[in-house]
């Protein structure tokens, strides 16, 4: 990542990159840090829109697919994941999350993508 922080420290890109639409006007992008990095030793971001959060362990339902990052692909796999959850009577807690594991210039059929949704607490 490009070093837009108080220490001007650059970091290697991590995967997956997570995206979710929290509401119509708020799109969230998250970067997963390596296990050796904790919130306390991350440099303070310069941009006030960048938040550092440590997410507790949660359980997700996921579906993987290869191909392009098109809205129709995301919608299709989100619907498949919802249908599976309904069929198996698994209670889910949206929003749905898009997980991207490859660079934008990767050959589409070789990309690994996932749609995730949190499994609701019972």
H or E stretch including 72?
helix 71-87
Its pTM stands at 0.80
Angstrom distance (rounded) from CA 1 to CA 52:
14
Q: pLDDT confidence of 106, banded at 50, 70, 90? A: very high
Angstrom distance (rounded) from CA 77 to CA 24:
20
Q: Fill in the DSSP letter of residue 25.
A: T
Domain boundaries, the chain: 17-34+56-119
pLDDT in tens, 42-57: 878 788 887 888 888 8
Question: Exposed e or buried b for every residue in 81-94, given b needs 16+ CB within 10 A?
Answer: bbeebeeeeeebee
- Residue 113: the pLDDT is 94
Is the confidence at residue 119, as pLDDT, over 80?
yes
Task: Work out the average pLDDT over 55-61.
Answer: 89
pLDDT in tens, 5-47: 777 777 776 788 888 876 667 778 877 887 787 778 787 878 8
Could you tell me which of 90, 62, 91, 92 has the C-alpha nearest to residue 77? 62
pLDDT in tens, 71-92: 899 999 999 999 999 999 999 9
């Amino acid at each position: 990542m490009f070093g837009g922080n108080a220490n001007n420290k650059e970091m290697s890109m991590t995967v997956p990159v997570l995206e979710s639409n929290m509401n119509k006007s708020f799109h969230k992008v998250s970067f997963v840090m390596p296990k050796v990095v904790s919130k306390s030793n991350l440099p303070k971001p310069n941009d006030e829109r960048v938040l550092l959060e440590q997410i507790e362990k949660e359980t997700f339902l996921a579906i993987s697919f290869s191909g392009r990052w098109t809205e129709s692909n995301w919608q299709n796999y989100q619907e498949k994941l919802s249908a599976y959850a309904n069929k198996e009577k698994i209670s889910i807690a949206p929003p749905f999350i898009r997980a991207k594991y490859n660079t934008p210039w990767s050959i589409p059929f070789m990309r690994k993508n996932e749609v995730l949704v949190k499994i609701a607490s019972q």
